[in-house]
Structure 1
């Protein structure tokens, strides 16, 4: 399990991450989403012990990453697909990792095959790899120690559609066998297809988190009345707030029965009362992160 508790990171006067808390449980894929500069990578680096937090703490199976005796056997990390020695071959990269982690060398070829790097690719130097091939090598590195946890930052960058579909299946299978996955990606439809839970961050703070189905279902109810000013007054008396729609209706974060009762008590004629259309993860993401400005920070 991954646990982030009140994590904060400041660079001078800039709060890159501000009081972020969430957990990733075994058997689940958690999609970690946010616009560029929102604090995703900084949060993941704090979890992996690469960036010290200004406040708060992060643990992996109840221990700080730096206190794991052989972290590669507990947690697989892919934060930067280009962070491999360009002069080494793919097989050399994994062989050195196997020696470091105490993994049998015969698992190197199995690891390369698992991510779709054939014998020819294994003999090529990393500097000759495409971005997609580097992503596959980085994932092979993360999986080499047979960890129970994966932390992946944009692992699908550079992959073709077939590769993205393959990675989705691999991560889903990993979680279904009891593994824990924290996945950051801008490919929202792929995250929607594979994730069980979502954590959305904007401006360094969490703006939404929970089960994917519940978050995507929380679109509200559309209501429209013959007398819209009277409807707004009735909703206000009932303690309900709404957002105007382009066609003159109101989206209210309440179910149809609650809204209908409020309208009936005010003797209003309703022209429309229905669940709001869900635009899926993409629409939810755009709504939650609207207006966020990207601030580049020198690290």
Structure 2
């Protein structure tokens, strides 16, 4: 179990995260998403005890990370795959960690096999590893102590398609055995394929969270016309909000029937009309983190406050 409650972190005058709260339950994979600079890394570092909150709390298994005895036996962490000593071999890196954590030496061979680094790769110096191999070694390090919780920042970075598919199965299997996974990644389709829960952060604040099924079911209707401006106007006249979609399409906040009727009423011929799907998480992500949409929402709030 991971809990983050009212987490706020300031670096001088800069507000990195503001009043962030969410939880990750055992048996689930939680996708933690947001654009660059949104506050993802700061939040993950706070969970792992590497960054002290300005206010608020984080806990793993009911305790702050820094208070966990032998933390590696409870939480497996991968925040930077390049942080390993370049002069040691993969096996030496894991053997040293096993000694520190009090893990049986046989566990080193188990995790090397699990992440696909057994044999010759285990004897290579980390400085000679590719980025994908370093990611696999980082995952091996996270799994070494047989933890109940994994906190992973961009674990698929550098992996080829086969490696990404392998990692998906690894994380899904870990959660299905009762483990807790908090996963930050820019590979939205992979997150969509494996995550049970989603937390989306933008500008240091949580803008959406809930089950994948609930959030992705509300992504609206994809609609496309030659005259995008006319389509936007017709939908606005019908009280249907829109956000930018893939290519020149729009994602309308309404069912397909209502969107079609609005376009017909406005005399706008449609080229495409269907439920938003396929790239559902990408569409949700863009609608929640698009700065243009955020500016429009802020303007609407200002107008409402002024009129009140």
**TM superposition score normalised by structure 1:** 0.83
Is the CA contact (8 Å cut-off) linking 2:256 and 2:275 kept in structure 1?
Answer: no
**Secondary structure of 1:10's partner?**
strand
Instruction: Determine whether 1:243 maps to 2:262.
Output: no
- How far does residue 284 in structure 1 lie from its aligned partner after superposition? 1.1
**Secondary structure of 1:167's partner?**
helix
The aligned counterpart of 1:178 is: 178
- How far does residue 169 in structure 1 lie from its aligned partner after superposition? 0.4
Q: Distance in 1 between matches of 2:156 and 2:215?
A: 24
- How far does residue 242 in structure 1 lie from its aligned partner after superposition? 3.0
The aligned counterpart of 1:44 is: 44
Q: Distance in 2 between matches of 1:281 and 1:90?
A: 36
- How far does residue 12 in structure 1 lie from its aligned partner after superposition? 1.4
**Secondary structure of 2:157's partner?**
coil
Instruction: Determine whether 1:277 maps to 2:276.
Output: yes
Is the CA contact (8 Å cut-off) linking 1:3 and 1:59 kept in structure 2?
Answer: yes
- How far does residue 118 in structure 1 lie from its aligned partner after superposition? 2.1
Taking the TM superposition and a 5 Å limit, the aligned residue runs for 1:93-172 are 93-172=93-172
- How far does residue 252 in structure 1 lie from its aligned partner after superposition? 3.8
Is the CA contact (8 Å cut-off) linking 1:251 and 1:276 kept in structure 2?
Answer: no
- Compared CA separation, residues 118 and 256, structure 1 to 2 (3 A): closer
List alignment gaps of at least 5 residues for structure 2: 224-231, 263-268, 293-308
Is the CA contact (8 Å cut-off) linking 2:8 and 2:18 kept in structure 1?
Answer: yes
The aligned counterpart of 1:80 is: 80
The alignment yields a C-alpha RMSD, in angstroms, of 3.1
- How far does residue 232 in structure 1 lie from its aligned partner after superposition? 6.6
- How far does residue 245 in structure 1 lie from its aligned partner after superposition? 8.8
Larger relative contact order (CA 8 Å, sep ≥ 6): 1
Q: Distance in 2 between matches of 1:56 and 1:42?
A: 13
- How far does residue 244 in structure 1 lie from its aligned partner after superposition? 8.1
Runs of 4+ in 1 over 4 A off after TM superposition: 228-233, 244-247
The aligned counterpart of 1:296 is: none
The aligned counterpart of 1:34 is: 34
Query: How many aligned residue pairs are there?
Result: 277
- How far does residue 11 in structure 1 lie from its aligned partner after superposition? 1.1
The aligned counterpart of 2:63 is: 63
More helix by share: 2
- How far does residue 250 in structure 1 lie from its aligned partner after superposition? 9.3
